[in-house]
Structure 1
Amino acid sequence: MKETENIFLTLINQHKAIIHKISKIYMNDAEEQRDLFQEMVLQLWKAYPSFKGNSKFTTWMYRVCLNTAIIYFKKDSRKVDKTPLDGNIDVIDVNENEGKEEKLACLYAAVQELNGIEKALIFLFLENQSHREIAENLGISEVNARVKLNRTKEKLQFIIKKNGYEF
C-alpha cells in the first residue's frame, strides 16, 4: 500500500500543473480553485486502482480530472450567489512584451462563460492535444471532437469580442 501511495504521489507531483490549469479554467475564485484541486486529487486517488496502464497516465488523469471538474462545476453553478464574472474587466491596451498576466486573466474570464464540456475542449486544445487525443480524453469520436472544438472556439471568440477582451 505504501509503495502504491508513493508512486501515486510522485505522479501527481510530476503532473500537478494539469490539475492547477483545470481548476483555474473551471473556477474563478482562488479558494474555489483550491477546493476543486483537492477534489480532483481525491478522485484521482479513489480511481487510481482502476488505472491499468493501457494509456498514458496523463491521458487517464485528464479524463478523471475533467469529469470531476464538470461535475463540480455543475454543482457549483447551482448556487444562487455564484457569478462567473465580476463584470469589471476593462479593455486592455498592451504591447507584445507587457501585460501577459492581464491577457491571461481576460482569457480565463472569457472561458468562465463556457459550459463544462466547452471548458474541457478549450483546456485540451490549449494543452496542444490533437483532435484524436481530445476525443480519447472526452470519450467522443474524433469527428465530434473536431466539430465541438471549432464551435467552442467560435463561441469563445464571440465572448471575447462581446466583452471587449480583445487583445
Structure 2
Amino acid sequence: MEKDKFISVVKDYQNLIYKICCSYCSDAENRKDLQQEILIQLWNSFSKFDGRAQLSTWIYRIALNTAITFYRNDSKHSNKKVSIDAAIISLSDFEYVPEQDENIAMLYQFIEKLNEMDKALILLYLDDNKQKDMAEILGISETNVATKISRIKKFLKEQFSNN
C-alpha cells in the first residue's frame, strides 16, 4: 500500500528531515510549516521515485530544494497538511529527540547564518555523504563541492573560536 510505504520512508528518514528543518528555520512555527511542506513535496513525488538514485539522495534533493524555496514564495507559508487517505502525517507523530548538546545547538546557529546552498552542502557533509552524491543532489560539480566545503569549515571554525 502506497500510504504505508510512504509512512515507513518518513519514519526512516525523519532525522534527516528534522535536521534540514532546524537548519533553515529557527522559529518553531516556521519549522513546523517547513516540515509539512517537505512532507507534501515528498508525497507528491513519491510515486515518481524510480530507484535510479538512492532513496536518501532523492529525499535530500526534495527536502533541501523545498527548504531553499520555502521563503521565496509567501504562499508556501499557509497551514497545509499532508493528507493521505484522510491520515494527517507530521514529523511530530514520530519519535525523534534532538540532541541537547550545547555545541550542536551552537552549530545549528552558525549554520543558520549560511546562505541556502551552503546550508544544504554542510548538512550533506555532516551526514557523511560522498562528494559525488553531494554534487548530484545540489547540481554542482565535485570540485565546487570541495571548494565550498573548505570555505564553510573555515567559517564555522571562526564562529566557534569567536564564542
> Could you tell me which residue of structure 2 aligns to residue 157 of structure 1?
157
> Could you tell me which residue of structure 2 aligns to residue 31 of structure 1?
29
Following TM superposition, the consecutive aligned residue runs of length 4 or more in structure 1 with deviations greater than 4 angstroms are 73-76
Residue 31 of structure 1 deviates from its aligned partner by: 1.9
Shifted more, 100-109 versus 10-19: the winner is 100-109
Residue 72 of structure 1 deviates from its aligned partner by: 1.1
Percent identity between matched residues is 37
Residue 161 of structure 1 deviates from its aligned partner by: 3.4
Residue 159 of structure 1 deviates from its aligned partner by: 3.2
TM-score by length of structure 1 reads: 0.76
Higher Rg of the two aligned structures: 1
> Could you tell me which residue of structure 2 aligns to residue 41 of structure 1?
39
Matched, 1:101 2:74: no
> Could you tell me which residue of structure 2 aligns to residue 144 of structure 1?
144
> How many residues of Structure 1 are paired with residues of Structure 2 in the alignment?
139
Asked whether the 8 Å contact 1:25–1:111 carries over to 2, the reply is yes
Matched, 1:4 2:2: yes
> Could you tell me which residue of structure 1 aligns to residue 60 of structure 2?
62
* CA–CA distance in structure 2, aligned partners of residues 49 and 23 of structure 1: 23
Asked whether the 8 Å contact 1:74–1:116 carries over to 2, the reply is no
Asked whether the 8 Å contact 1:43–1:64 carries over to 2, the reply is yes
TM-score by length of structure 2 reads: 0.78
Mind listing any 5+ residue stretches in structure 1 that lack a counterpart? 77-99
* CA–CA distance in structure 2, aligned partners of residues 73 and 135 of structure 1: 23
3-state DSSP of counterpart to 2:38: helix
